[in-house]
Amino acid sequence: MRCLIRELIVVAFGVLFSAIGFVNTFWGNDPYYGLAVLTASLLFYLPLIDVVRTRLRAGQGTALLVLLGAFILWSSIGVGELWDKTAMMVEEFPHPQITGY
| Integer-rounded Cα radius of gyration of the chain | 15
What pLDDT shows up at residue 4? 82
What pLDDT shows up at residue 49? 72
Q: Measuring CA to CA, which residue among 97, 68, 94 is closest to residue 84?
A: 97
One digit per residue, the tens of pLDDT, for the chain of length 101 reads: 667 888 888 889 999 999 988 888 888 778 888 899 999 998 888 777 777 777 777 677 778 888 989 999 898 887 777 788 778 778 877 777 666 55
From CA 80, how far away is CA 92, in angstroms rounded? Answer: 18
> Measured on CA atoms in the order 19, 23, 29, 32, is the torsion positive or negative?
positive
Global pTM value: 0.76
What pLDDT shows up at residue 15? 93
From CA 25, how far away is CA 47, in angstroms rounded? Answer: 24
What pLDDT shows up at residue 16? 92
What pLDDT shows up at residue 1? 65
Contact 89, 23 (CB under 8 A): yes
